[in-house]
């Protein structure tokens, strides 16, 4: 039977703790009742995990001995609110919770879809005018 390495134990414990945090109730929260309206929070989870270890020897102990291991593990988690589902009677609406853009680049990226839509609308209108003018010129 193969001996279980201490680094495996460290990783397993950290992963089990993260697994316990990352259940479906964390992503889609418990409903909040407010009169005839039910609010259901929706979140985004981000997790990271790292570990490392080494085997070492001392003057009195060879590599591979019982106490010849040093290691550690760490984990981090982040929960960001994304939206609320608003349930009223038979209707369900999604209310996004967007933080303001953090940088100029974020603002530019956020406005790109609007700019593309406006440019596309402008081009479509110009093509429609051109087509209408061509039809008028052919009719004359």
Tell me the CA end-to-end span of the chain in Å, nearest whole number. Answer: 95
Show me where the domains of the chain are located.
1-98, 100-140
Determine contact, residues 72/52, Cβ cutoff 8 Å: yes
User: How many other C-beta atoms lie within 10 A of the C-beta of residue 68?
Assistant: 15
Per-residue pLDDT of the chain (140 residues; tens, 9 = 90+): 455 667 777 778 877 877 777 776 778 888 999 889 999 999 888 888 887 877 777 777 665 556 677 788 877 878 888 899 999 988 899 888 876 666 777 777 777 778 888 888 889 998 888 888 877 777 66
Whole-model pTM above 0.85?
A: no
Kindly state the DSSP code that residue 58 receives in the 8-state scheme. Answer: -
H helices of the chain, in order, are 6-21, 24-27, 104-139
Would you state the structure tokens that stand for residue 70, as one six-digit string?
A: 């040093």
Q: Which residue has the tokens 């010129």?
A: 137
């Amino acid at each position: 039977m193969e001996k279980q390495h201490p680094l495996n134990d460290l990783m397993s414990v950290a992963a089990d703790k993260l697994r316990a945090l990352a259940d479906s109730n964390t992503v889609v929260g418990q409903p909040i009742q407010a009169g005839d309206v039910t609010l259901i929070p929706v979140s985004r989870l981000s997790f990271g995990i790292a570990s490392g270890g080494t085997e070492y020897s001392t003057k009195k102990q060879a590599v591979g001995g019982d106490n010849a291991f040093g290691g550690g593990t760490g984990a981090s988690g982040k929960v960001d609110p994304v939206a609320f589902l608003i349930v009223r009677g038979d209707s369900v609406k999604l209310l996004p919770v967007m933080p303001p853009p953090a940088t100029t680049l974020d603002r530019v990226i956020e406005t790109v879809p609007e700019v593309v839509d406006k440019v596309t609308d402008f081009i479509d209108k110009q093509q429609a005018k051109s087509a209408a003018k061509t039809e008028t010129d052919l009719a004359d």
